[in-house]
Structure 1
Amino acid sequence: MKLITWNCNMAFRKKLEIILEEKPDILVIPESESPDKFILKKEIPKPEDSFWFGDNPNKGIGVYTYNDFKIKVLEDHNLEFRFIIPLLISNQEIEFILLATWCQKPKKSDNYGTHTWNSINYYTKLLDNEKVIIAGDFNSSSIWDKPNREANHTNIVNRFKERGIKSTYHIYHEEEQGKEKHATLNLHRKIDRPYHIDFCFASDYFIKRLERVKVGEYEKWTNYSDHKPLIVNFKIGDNLI
């Protein structure tokens, strides 16, 4: 199973073809426009299933699946954390919880991590499931931690760890939070302004089945977005991509 999260920097209909070159099963796409706006060439495969949420039809969060994966929206989506959305993803081989994530700053805070921190507490029962993935654009990093701030990125990572949920990138590459060698964002598309703010956290079930994690190359993806895709492979059943 291959999951890709990529903040596409809007106009996803024009960029779907390029991300499909990576042969995804599941796409988590912050800043995607509504699928109602998709006008695809005949040769571009349409998603097997899709989910989109947002206030602006040009810029929300989309989840798109291929290879028989289906999406079900869970009823307990808390609109306080509007862009942290609990979904059930399934096919004949597996069923799991996905929290599709595009972190926003709350109106009364300058900390992007606030909604993530609060959502961990709200979705505590969902996070207790054996099969959980939280993936998307978190807009946070340990390098921006502030003293005595509860919703620091490091505290978020540690709270996930308490539940047996870890960052696939950091496990695979054996790197520390805030010291990543591969940036997922180049601010204003500048190569000298790299940050790692896109993540795929996964429960132990998936960590044991982790095959590969890579970040797209700057030279290729900067033509399409200031973010680069985070591409995660898991070995599920007999399906190894």
Structure 2
Amino acid sequence: MKITTWNCAGALRKKFHLLRDLDSDIYIIQECENPSQSNDFDYKNWAKNHLWIGDSIHKGLGIFANIEIKLERLNWTNTFKDNSVKYFLPCKINNSFQLLGVWTHRNNSPNFGYIGQFWKYLQTNLENFEEIIIGGDFNSNVIWDQWDRWWNHSDVVKTLEEKGIKSLYHEFFNERQGDEKNPTFYHRKNLNKPYHIDYIFGSFFFHENLIKVEILDQKIWIHHSDHIPVSAIFQF
């Protein structure tokens, strides 16, 4: 099985043909429009098997799967102490494992933007995590940790690791958080401003069955988005 995450930077209806060449079984796509309300027939046809959330039909978070894969949305809470967090899309794959799509957002929060949103999400949903893949655009890296925050990137990674969930990229390439040699994002498409902010995390089962982690060629994908697709391939 191959799972790919990509922030498409909008207008997926004009870009989904690029994903066909990747031949992934499941795509976690950020900043995509809602296929159910799209007027583009080809896009709707490609997205026959999908889940989607968003505040605008033009830009949200989607999970797209091959037609033979069963997607079942999970009813996990998107609130923390009466405040909504976004964007997180949990589902069950083939009645087998959990998949959590992520696109962290500032969400107009003065203190808990981006990775803070995910930290809040974990406070109410971590107990639900079983055999799980978590993938998406986290807009975060340990290099931006602030010493007086208890919900830094490092704290979130530690919380996941205590649950047996680790970054597939870091385990596969034997790199530390913050020392990534392969960027996933180029600010304003500037190749001189590289960062690693897109991740696929997995519980032990996925590490045990991991074949490969790929970050695709930035020289090709930079023309379509400031983010580069990240893929994980498993043998099961």
TM-score normalised by the chain length of structure 2 = 0.92
Give the letter aligned to residue 234 of structure 2: F
Whether 2:17 is the aligned partner of 1:2: answer no
Counterparts in 2 of 1:186 and 1:199: CA distance versus 1, 3 Å? same
Q: Secondary structure at the match of 2:75?
A: coil
Give the alignment of 1:34-183 within 5 angstroms: 34-35=34-35, 36-37=37-38, 39-41=40-42, 46-66=46-66, 68-79=68-79, 80-90=84-94, 95-110=96-111, 111-127=113-129, 129=130, 131-183=131-183
Counterpart Cα distance in 2 of 1:34 and 1:45 = 13
Give the letter aligned to residue 97 of structure 1: Q
- Kept in 2: contact 1:25–1:67 (CA 8 A): no
Counterparts in 2 of 1:85 and 1:62: CA distance versus 1, 3 Å? same
Alpha-carbon displacement from aligned partner over 1:17-56 (angstroms, at most 9, x marks no partner): 00110101000001001103162549x9724510111111
Question: Higher mean Cα deviation, 64-73 or 147-156?
Answer: 64-73
Counterpart Cα distance in 1 of 2:76 and 2:122 = 13
Alpha-carbon distance, 1:81 to partner: 2.1
Q: How many residues align structurally?
A: 230
Counterparts in 2 of 1:61 and 1:166: CA distance versus 1, 3 Å? same
Alpha-carbon distance, 1:67 to partner: 5.2
Whether 2:20 is the aligned partner of 1:24: answer no
Counterpart Cα distance in 1 of 2:171 and 2:57 = 36
Counterpart Cα distance in 2 of 1:26 and 1:67 = 10
Whether 2:231 is the aligned partner of 1:228: answer no
RMSD, aligned α-carbons:
1.7
Counterpart Cα distance in 1 of 2:34 and 2:205 = 32
- Kept in 2: contact 1:13–1:39 (CA 8 A): yes
Counterparts in 2 of 1:17 and 1:40: CA distance versus 1, 3 Å? farther
Q: Secondary structure at the match of 2:213?
A: strand
Counterpart Cα distance in 1 of 2:231 and 2:109 = 33
Q: Specify every segment of 5 or more residues in structure 1 that has no aligned partner in the other structure, as ranges.
A: 237-241
Counterparts in 2 of 1:70 and 1:45: CA distance versus 1, 3 Å? same
Identity of aligned residues (%): 33
Q: Specify every segment of 5 or more residues in structure 2 that has no aligned partner in the other structure, as ranges.
A: none
Counterpart Cα distance in 1 of 2:145 and 2:138 = 14
Counterpart Cα distance in 2 of 1:171 and 1:141 = 16
Counterparts in 2 of 1:88 and 1:197: CA distance versus 1, 3 Å? same
- Kept in 2: contact 1:77–1:85 (CA 8 A): no
Q: Secondary structure at the match of 2:46?
A: coil
Alpha-carbon displacement from aligned partner over 1:137-186 (angstroms, at most 9, x marks no partner): 00000000001211110111111000000000001111111111111100
Give the letter aligned to residue 124 of structure 1: L
